[in-house]
C-alpha cells in the first residue's frame, strides 16, 4: 500500500496561528468525521489543545454507520469529553452543540460569575481536518454564511472570530492535516472520504483499499452492489472486471474514481472506516 503524505505550507502556518490564539480560548470544538473518528483526529492539534476543555463533534453522522457512531460517542464520553453526534447539513441538533459548549466551559463561566462578570462571553476555537464540515457548522451556529464552505479540502484559508450570540464567540480555522501518516491506512481512509486533495493519491489505490475493507466489514452491501459479479480475492482483477461490467470499458482509472464517488454518495450504504476492536460491525 503506497503512503499518502500531504502537508502544504499553509497548514503549518495555520497550526502556528492556532497555537498563538489558544491563550484567548476557553473551549476547543474538535470536529471529527463520524466515518473516521480516530483517523480524522489530528494528533498535532490534539496535543496543542490537550489542556483546554473540549467538545468533540462527530459530524456527517448521516454518512456513517449509526451503530458505530453510537459506540464512538460512548467511547469519547468515557474519556470525560463532551460529545455531540451531528449532521450539520440536514438536522436540528445544533442547540445540543450550544449546550455542549456551555457545559464544557461551565467552570470558566462560574469563575467569571463569581468575579461579578454579568453575562460572561465564552470564546471557542473550532478545529478539524479539511472537509470535515467545520464551516458548515459555524454558519449554522451564526445563522448566516460567514464561513466559506465547499465539498473539498482547503476551502477555509484564514482565521475569523464569529459571534454566535451574546455569550459565545467562535474562531474558525483552516482544516489541518499532519506532516506524516504513520499508518498508511489512515491516508487511504482520509482519501476515501474526500479530506485529501485528489491530485496527491492514485484512484485505484483507494478503490482497492475500499474493496478490501468492504469485503471484510460490509460484505452484504458489497455483494449487493456487485450484483452478478463474483468477489475475486485478486482485487486488481476484480476492479478490472467491475470497470468492464459497469460500462467503463478498459478505463480502469476513471472507474476507480467513480467507485470512490459511489461509496461517498452512500450507494453502498452508511459506512464507518474506523472501528473499535471490541465492536462488531454485525452487532
Give the DSSP letter string of 51-118: TS-EEEEEE-TTTS-HHHHHHHHHHHHTTT-EEEE--TTT---HHHHHHHHHHHTHHHHHHHHHTT-S
Whether residue 93 sits in one domain with residue 29: yes
Residue 163 CA to chain centroid, in angstroms? 24
Name the range with the highest mean pLDDT among 34-48, 92-106, 149-163, 258-272.
Answer: 258-272
Same domain, 56 and 145: yes
Residue pair 86/140 in contact (Cβ under 8 Å)? The answer is no
Report H helices in 158-273. 184-193, 203-217, 219-226, 235-245, 252-264
User: CA dihedral defined by 215, 269, 186, 242, rounded to 10 degrees?
Assistant: 50
The answer, yes or no, to whether residue 224 has pLDDT greater than 90, is: yes
Taking alpha carbons only, the member of 187, 221, 207 closest to residue 257 is 207
Boundary (domain end) residue, out of 122, 156, 172: 172
Residue 242 CA to residue 199 CA, distance in Å, equals 23
The pLDDT of residue 80 is 81
Same domain, 121 and 229: no
Is the same domain home to 124 and 251?
Answer: no
The answer as to whether 84 is a domain residue is yes
3-state secondary structure of 162: strand
Does any domain span residue 2? no
In the numeric block, which cell numbers belong to residue 47? 496535543
pLDDT-based confidence at residue 148 (cuts at 50, 70, 90): very low
Question: Do both 24 and 129 map to the same domain?
Answer: yes
CB 102 within 8 A of CB 122: yes
pLDDT at 87: 86
Instruction: Count Cβ atoms below 10 Å from residue 24 Cβ, excluding itself.
Output: 11
- How many CB atoms sit inside 10 A of residue 13's CB? 13
Q: Which pTM was predicted?
A: 0.87
Same-domain pairing of 231 and 91: no
For β-strands 168-172 and 82-85, DSSP reports them as unpaired
- pLDDT mean over 27-56: 92
Helix (H, G, I), strand (E, B) or coil at 122: strand
pLDDT of residue 183: 85
Q: Which residue has the higher pLDDT, 170 or 34?
A: 34
Query: By residue range, what is the domain housing residue 116?
Result: 9-172
What is the rounded distance in angstroms from the CA atom of residue 169 to the CA atom of residue 124?
6
158 and 223 assigned to the same domain: no
DSSP designation for 165: S
Nearest to 31 by CA among 85, 67, 70, 79: 85
- 269 located within any domain: no
pLDDT number for residue 239? 97
Cβ–Cβ < 8 Å for 281, 68: yes
Amino acid at each position: 500500500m503506497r503512503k499518502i503524505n500531504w502537508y502544504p505550507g499553509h497548514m503549518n502556518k495555520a497550526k502556528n496561528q492556532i497555537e498563538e490564539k489558544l491563550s484567548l480560548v476557553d473551549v476547543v470544538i474538535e470536529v471529527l468525521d463520524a466515518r473516521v473518528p480516530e483517523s480524522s483526529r489530528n494528533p498535532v492539534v490534539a496535543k496543542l489543545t490537550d489542556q483546554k476543555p473540549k467538545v468533540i463533534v462527530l459530524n456527517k453522522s448521516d454518512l456513517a454507520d449509526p451503530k458505530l457512531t453510537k459506540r464512538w460517542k460512548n467511547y469519547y464520553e468515557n474519556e470525560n469529553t463532551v460529545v455531540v453526534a451531528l449532521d450539520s447539513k440536514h438536522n436540528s441538533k445544533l442547540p445540543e452543540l450550544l449546550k455542549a459548549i456551555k457545559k464544557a466551559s461551565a467552570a470558566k463561566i462560574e469563575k467569571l460569575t463569581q468575579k461579578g462578570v454579568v453575562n460572561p462571553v465564552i470564546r471557542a476555537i473550532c478545529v478539524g481536518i479539511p472537509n470535515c464540515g467545520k464551516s458548515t457548522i459555524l454558519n449554522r451556529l451564526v445563522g448566516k454564511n460567514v464561513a466559506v464552505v465547499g465539498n473539498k479540502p482547503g476551502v477555509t484559508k484564514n482565521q475569523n472570530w464569529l459571534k454566535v450570540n451574546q455569550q459565545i464567540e467562535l474562531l474558525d480555522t483552516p482544516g489541518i492535516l499532519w506532516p506524516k501518516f504513520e499508518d498508511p491506512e489512515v491516508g487511504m481512509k482520509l482519501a476515501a472520504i474526500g479530506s485529501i486533495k485528489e491530485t496527491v493519491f492514485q484512484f485505484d489505490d483507494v478503490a482497492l483499499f475500499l474493496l478490501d475493507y468492504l469485503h471484510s466489514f460490509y460484505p452484504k452491501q458489497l455483494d449487493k452492489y456487485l450484483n452478478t459479479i463474483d468477489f475475486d480475492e485478486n482485487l486488481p482483477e476484480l476492479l478490472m472486471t467491475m470497470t468492464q461490467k459497469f460500462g467503463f470499458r478498459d478505463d480502469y482509472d476513471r472507474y476507480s474514481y467513480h467507485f470512490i464517488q459511489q461509496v461517498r454518495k452512500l450507494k453502498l450504504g452508511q459506512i464507518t472506516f474506523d472501528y473499535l476492536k471490541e465492536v462488531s460491525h454485525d452487532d
